[in-house]
Structure 1
Amino acid sequence: MAKTIFITGASRGFGKLWAEAFLQRGDNVVATVRDLSTLDDLISKYGDRILPLELNVNDRAADIAAIQQAKQHFGSIDVLINNAGYGLFGSIEETTEQQAREQMETNFFGLLWLTQAVLPVMREQGHGHIIQLSSVLGLVTLPILGLYNASKFAVEGLSETLAAEVKDFGINITLIEPNGFATDWSGASALRTETLPAYDDVRKAFFDGTANDAMWGIPEATIPAVLKLIDEPNPPLRLFLGNQGLPWVKQVYDSRFAEWENWREISATAQGK
């Protein structure tokens, strides 16, 4: 049975790939972008099964209006995929206030506004699936991506809480956590801080460490996993995409647990009784 899927950031990368995959199999797609011309190929090919909307996700009123327009147009919204976002490369000291706020506005608050907007629709329907594009960097961190890490950690906390709040309404929440993929996330879509020489060694280590092509996944290979997730009646709260994330997270969390255990007795004394 065809679904109606609302996806943000559909102009390129995962958003464009997944939107077309949904359309190819017969789903209805609401695709939001900042530049509608980026969807001309999908519009000409799939006609009235795609509703293209110009949207800046940072605009809460526009997010609410877009959800309502989608509901009126297709009659329901089965899936919301909060995909819009970008990377900000630079050390924390280098990051300006404007850069920090804009990173959180898009990666976290835009996602929050659309999530809030779709919840009444899904509660009324008695079903729905909200898929949040997080990252493996919402669970572990890398230097030079501090604000991006922070935005995705915020998405993780928000979404895990939301899952507990809405499960009795028939609404599922899934956090998708990709490792690195060969999209333009680190290229044309990314922003960079003005560099300070003090961080040159840290920056070089970061870029040297991510220069291995073998560690970057093939974006098109994610399509079957995402389609399976969309169709799963009992979807997971978290889904890694790629083969790098789970081993890395396990290694980091094993180290964290070891440190916490080493400090267990000191921690316990802070209880006071």
Structure 2
Amino acid sequence: MSATRTWFITGASRGLGALWTEAVLDHGDRVVATSRDPTVLKPLVDRHGDRLLLLDLDVTDRAAVDTAVATAEERFGGVDVLVNNAGHMLTGAVEEVSAEQAVAQMDVNYFGALWTTRAVLPGMRERRSGRILQVSSLGGLIAYPALGVYQASKWALEAMSQSLAAEVEAYGVHVTLIEPIMFPTDLATASPQVRSDPAYAHARAALYAGAGASGFTPGDPAATSAALLAVVDAPNPPLRVLFGTGGIDALRTEFAGRLAGLEEWDHVSRLAQGTAER
């Protein structure tokens, strides 16, 4: 990578994306900040001048994504770091979520990240250098009640990104899944809402009271900027990194439970195998 890097950040106008955009600029790098409403970042243009390029972008529009990446490459000569941060969090039981809401959730959280990733890859491969940071969630590894469709989008992102990491390592491109745990941003309030069904009140109660978020201490959103830069500055960045505390214990419980369940039903696995040689 060049000494001064060019970042392409989606969902840059609010929440973690806005904090990261400002931190990267303060770090001395260049940023292409994309959002459906990038005008809120205009004060940063006044401070940082031509090191910041604001682009209006809906990541679900594949043609617009390709155009935005081409514009970034033409302006700065290439994208060194892609941060796929655009997304929303649909809270609701699987039956409560409408078909349109389910499609929109996947379009933004999964396909949006896929389109931007595909758009930057040719340039990164040609330069044999690049970082792709996918903003997933602890919910990309664990599924809680009343978050199934949202977390399905993150599980899809996790699988695609793990495969991608193995595919592009030979070209000097590193892929990292960032998995925030709990940070007080406007993600939930700014996201679409389902029409609640009293039949699933117990699922929401489980999410908020015990099985989900209540076991974690909210982190400082501003502190994630230093963590983001530490990941990008690392010579050998991780495939996955949790942002926040408490996730390791939750994952130990989750994975131990998965293995225990599979072992308990191993007799059925063997039954399904039949008499074929192993």
2:103 maps to amino acid:
R
Q: What is the 5 A alignment of 1:132-147?
A: 132-147=134-149
SS in structure 1 of the partner of residue 241 of structure 2 = strand
2:164 maps to amino acid:
L
Cross-structure match for 1:208: 209
SS in structure 1 of the partner of residue 273 of structure 2 = coil
Cross-structure match for 2:196: 195
**CA–CA distance in 2 between the matches of 1:190 and 1:244?**
25
**CA–CA distance in 2 between the matches of 1:13 and 1:160?**
25
Residue 266 of structure 1 and its aligned partner are, at CA, apart by 2.4
- More deviation, 260-269/137-146: 260-269
> 1:178–1:245: 8 Å Cα contact kept in structure 2?
no
SS in structure 2 of the partner of residue 215 of structure 1 = coil
Cross-structure match for 2:258: 256
**CA–CA distance in 1 between the matches of 2:18 and 2:28?**
16
What does the per-residue CA deviation read over 1:13-62, in whole Å, with 9 as the maximum and x for residues that have no partner? 11011111110010000100111221112111111100110000000000
**CA–CA distance in 2 between the matches of 1:91 and 1:211?**
16
SS in structure 1 of the partner of residue 55 of structure 2 = strand
Residue 129 of structure 1 and its aligned partner are, at CA, apart by 0.7
Residue 94 of structure 1 and its aligned partner are, at CA, apart by 0.8
**CA–CA distance in 2 between the matches of 1:162 and 1:211?**
30
Equivalent of residue 65 in structure 1, options 64, 67, 78: 67
Structure 1 runs of 4+ off > 6 angstroms? none
Uncovered stretches (5+) of structure 2, i.e. residues with no partner: none
Inter-CA distance 61–102: structure 2 relative to 1 (3 Å threshold)? same
Output the TM-score relative to the length of structure 2: 0.94
**CA–CA distance in 2 between the matches of 1:162 and 1:116?**
10
Q: What is the 5 A alignment of 1:69-148?
A: 69-148=71-150
- More deviation, 24-33/194-203: 194-203
SS in structure 2 of the partner of residue 234 of structure 1 = coil
Residue 270 of structure 1 and its aligned partner are, at CA, apart by 1.7
Output the TM-score relative to the length of structure 1: 0.96
CA RMSD of aligned residues (A): 1.4
**CA–CA distance in 2 between the matches of 1:39 and 1:265?**
58
User: How many percent identity over aligned positions?
Assistant: 47
